[in-house]
């Protein structure tokens, strides 16, 4: 295998890589152990696409990592872009050995579940991005994750979800060789642009959900509280994907002068930053709006509960009035019944039993007691 001569290439870190007797084109030669397993394998589901570009045009489409490594060594001033989907540890080990990737970055790429960030490891830039997409069917936001290793002559993308669609990014760049010829940074900025553009449909979907929730709140839907909580969780998760990305872009912008970034790429990144700022402002608005909606909903629920309590109280008061009336009439009827019961026991030893005026006396007593009780209850408005 013949070695391709490599010209010094200014990297993202601003350093110059030069060939050395022990390296191929500034990269450490692959070790004979770990990479060999992957080099002998045919491409599986993990390697989505691999291409080698010269002057922004695809010149080779290797089907294995070994062919990609060999092509990068043989072609002068070439840039490789390897796209992987949930690669195995052996595949990443082969890439780490070939491109001298830092073990911490490789570990992050394997474990995933990282927040957006940017790290520099010598000549290699490691970037983590979180993509998002709105699913209309379930009215939910799905989040994805992509890891990028950007070196002086290579780009490695590691996806752990369907989003973002990097094949669309590749097609877009390949249709613009002049932009792609600006190097690996162009690929990084194009992917950033794709991720941020993907936030647009999510923002529109969340805004539509919030509008629906506002309608449900004032309609008195009892299930709206749960939906507000779930949507608040999605907005917070979305904010965790968007907010750290601003730091990533600021870090790249801060190195414009230091690392001599191409002017066209600078404008490209500034445009991405403008779009991201708009998304951040809208997400902040959503968070505050949902908080206000939750407060209004709690107020309306409290008012509804107060109305229900008022209705129950009024019903209880009406019942109490009825109970008073029933109790008053029961007491009025109870007094004559008691007198009649006493004199109806037919005891021979009762003094009034054979009294000539006993009947009139009993009847009069019943009437007086009943009239007295009626007067008392009437005065208290029980009757």
Residue 9 has a pLDDT of: 31
User: Residue 83 in contact with residue 50, Cβ under 8 Å?
Assistant: yes
* 226 pLDDT above the threshold of 50: yes
Listed ranges 140-154, 244-258, 329-343; the one with the highest mean pLDDT: 140-154
Q: In angstroms, rounded to a whole number, what is the distance separating the alpha carbons of residues 326 and 260?
A: 96
Residue 110 has a pLDDT of: 86
Residue 227 has a pLDDT of: 86
Segment 68-94 mean pLDDT: 89
Please state which of the four CATH numbers 3.40.50.300, 3.50.30.30, 3.30.460.20, 3.10.310.30 is assigned to the domain occupying 9-300. 3.30.460.20
- Lowest mean pLDDT segment, chosen from 39-53, 84-98, 114-128, 367-381: 39-53
User: Residue 195 in contact with residue 129, Cβ under 8 Å?
Assistant: yes
Q: pLDDT class for 257, splitting at 50, 70, 90? A: low
Residue 58 has a pLDDT of: 92
pTM above threshold 0.85: no
* 55 pLDDT above the threshold of 50: yes
Residue 38 has a pLDDT of: 35
Can you identify the CATH homologous superfamily of domain 316-379?
Answer: Magnesium transport protein CorA, transmembrane region (1.20.58.340)
* 31 pLDDT above the threshold of 70: no
The full set of domain ranges for the chain reads 9-300, 316-379
Segment 268-277 mean pLDDT: 89
For the chain, the average pLDDT equals 79
Residue 5 has a pLDDT of: 36
Residue 256 has a pLDDT of: 66
User: Residue 203 in contact with residue 282, Cβ under 8 Å?
Assistant: yes
């Amino acid at each position: 295998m013949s070695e391709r001569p490599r010209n010094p290439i200014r990297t993202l870190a601003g350093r110059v890589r030069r060939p050395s007797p022990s390296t191929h084109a500034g990269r450490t030669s692959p070790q004979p152990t770990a990479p060999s397993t992957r080099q002998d394998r045919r491409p599986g589901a993990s390697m989505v696409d691999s291409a080698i570009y010269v002057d922004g045009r695809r010149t080779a489409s290797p089907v294995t990592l070994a062919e990609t490594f060999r092509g990068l060594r043989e072609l002068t001033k070439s840039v490789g872009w390897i796209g992987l989907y949930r690669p195995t540890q052996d595949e990443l080990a082969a890439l780490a050995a070939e491109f001298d990737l830092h073990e911490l970055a490789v570990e992050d790429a394997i474990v995933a579940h990282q927040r957006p960030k940017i790290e520099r490891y010598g000549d290699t830039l490691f970037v983590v991005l979180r993509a998002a997409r709105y699913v209309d069917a379930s009215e939910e936001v799905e989040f994805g994750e992509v890891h990028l290793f950007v070196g002086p002559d290579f780009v490695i993308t590691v996806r752990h979800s369907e989003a973002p669609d990097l094949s669309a990014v590749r097609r877009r760049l390949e249709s613009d060789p002049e932009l792609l010829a600006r190097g690996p940074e162009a690929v990084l900025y194009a992917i950033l642009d794709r991720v941020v553009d993907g936030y647009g449909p999510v923002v529109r979907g969340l805004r539509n959900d919030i509008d629906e929730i506002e309608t449900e709140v004032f309609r008195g839907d009892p299930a709206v509280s749960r939906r507000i909580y779930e949507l608040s969780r999605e907005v917070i998760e979305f904010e965790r994907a968007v907010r750290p990305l601003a730091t990533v872009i600021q870090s790249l912008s801060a190195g414009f002068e230091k690392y001599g970034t191409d002017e066209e790429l600078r404008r490209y990144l500034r445009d991405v930053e403008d779009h991201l700022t708009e998304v951040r402002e809208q997400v902040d608005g959503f968070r505050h709006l949902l908080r206000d909606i939750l407060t209004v909903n709690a107020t309306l629920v409290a008012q509804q509960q107060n109305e229900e309590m008022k209705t129950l109280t009024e019903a209880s008061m009406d019942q109490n009035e009825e109970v008073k009336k029933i109790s008053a009439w029961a007491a009025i009827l109870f007094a004559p019944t008691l007198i009649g019961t006493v004199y109806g026991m037919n005891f021979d030893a009762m003094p009034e039993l054979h009294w000539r005026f006993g009947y009139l006396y009993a009847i009069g007593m019943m009437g007086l007691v009943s009239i007295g009780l009626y007067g008392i209850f009437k005065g208290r408005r029980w009757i």
